[in-house]
Amino acid sequence: MSDLILVDRLVKYFSSGGGFLAGPRKDVHAVDDVSFVIRRGETFGLVGESGCGKTTTGRLILRLIEPTSGRILYEGKDIMEFGNKEMRLMRRKMQLIFQDAFSSFDARKTVYEIVAEPLQVHGLASGAELYERAADLLNTVGLEQRHAAEYPHTLSSGQKQCVGIARALSLNPEFMVADEPISAVDVSVTAQILNLMKDLQGRFNLTYLFISHDMSVIRYLSDRVGVMYVGKLVEYADKQDLFKEPIHPYSRALLAAVPIEDPVERRDRKILEGDVPSPINPPPGCRFHTRCEFAKPVCGEQEPPLTDRGSGHYVACHVY
């Protein structure tokens, strides 16, 4: 399986504060020296607590926001060097499935107009062909033709997300960033959306970056998994390796918190003590050492490198 995307030492700092009342300007370390590879046709799951930098990483890869530094290679080409014309063509290959589909819609437009808009913007269809392609897209995601004339507010949460997926599919992309696509969906249709995404991946050979805080969903959908903590990638590996034998203490804590389906089975849960460090003033060394029960003096002094511990299982930890 060939590499589609290479993220190389990606950094994004946001400025905070500044001015007479806001105090001195400080940098928010949203994404800090993150590197990983996404292979063609796979689902790369990115997991971590809220505020760890998952969504920012996804938007950086799509160049919806510009990085502070680092490289993003798509099929070996650094898209950070692309001009507006080249990026416009690249937009057809890369799409985003929003966390809350409804907030990304123009409420004044019908479902047909929402799905057809990308085709119009890129000049790929018009007239009867435009309507036919939009209808085919709605059918592809499990919606009926009657939904084309409806407005988004009349749809259920699952139907709204299906419209968002149809819109993302309209330009025949190769790569999609799915930013917590089931967090705003009713629990009753969560499996429907996940199975739809799996089916579409098989039919259209899609590559996903799937962002979530839910380890169960990550386990179901992903081929490989990356774990982020306060802007840093602390571990990534094949799904089987990560879930069978997590190495980083933070990854182990996340997995220990996943509910067990069998009511008889018991699991030792270790509740993490302390608060998540501020990304404005992250601690020196390993950013997890302030909450890690295995921390050594070196953990608070030196930042651990992301190292291959065998079979493509990368971990950033002094202890292990």
Whichever domain contains 32, its CATH number is 3.40.50.300
Task: Tell me the percentage of the chain whose pLDDT exceeds 90.
Answer: 80
- What pLDDT was estimated at residue 319? 87
Segment among 59-73, 181-195, 236-250, 296-310 with least mean pLDDT:
181-195
264 pLDDT higher than 70:
no
Using CA of residue 291, residue 296, residue 298, residue 301, what is the dihedral sign? positive
- What pLDDT was estimated at residue 20? 59
Which residue, among 8, 5, 10, 9, has the nearest Cα to 75 in the 3D structure? 5
pTM of the model: 0.93
Segment among 15-29, 150-164, 187-201, 224-238 with least mean pLDDT:
15-29
Q: How far apart are CA 90 and CA 289, in angstroms?
A: 40
Instruction: Give yes or no for a contact between 141 and 169, defined as CB atoms under 8 angstroms apart.
Output: yes
- What pLDDT was estimated at residue 226? 98
Please, what is the average pLDDT of the chain? 92
Residue 129 forms part of a structural domain: no
Quote the domain boundaries for residue 187: 3-93+173-315
Residue 150 forms part of a structural domain: no
What lies within 8 Å, CB to CB, of 167 at 6+ separation is 114, 115, 117, 118, 137
Residue 67 forms part of a structural domain: yes
Residue 138 forms part of a structural domain: no
Segment among 10-19, 211-220, 263-272 with least mean pLDDT:
263-272
Residue 120 forms part of a structural domain: no
Counting Cβ atoms within 10 Å, is residue 297 exposed (0-12), middle (13-18) or buried (19+)? Answer: exposed
Find the length of the chain.
Answer: 320
* Confidence bin at 104 (pLDDT 50/70/90): very high
Instruction: Give yes or no for a contact between 288 and 296, defined as CB atoms under 8 angstroms apart.
Output: no
Q: 3-state DSSP: the chain helix, strand, coil percent, rounded to 5?
A: 35, 25, 40
Mean pLDDT, residues 111-117: 96
Residue 137 forms part of a structural domain: no
* Confidence bin at 11 (pLDDT 50/70/90): very high
Mean pLDDT, residues 130-151: 94
24 pLDDT higher than 90:
no
- What pLDDT was estimated at residue 232? 97
- What pLDDT was estimated at residue 256? 86
Look at 237 and 15; give whichever has higher pLDDT: 237
Residue 123 forms part of a structural domain: no
What's the structural domain count of the chain? 1
What lies within 8 Å, CB to CB, of 164 at 6+ separation is 97, 98, 101, 104, 105, 181
Residue 283 forms part of a structural domain: yes
Strand order in the sheet with 77-78: 26-39, 3-16, 69-74, 77-78
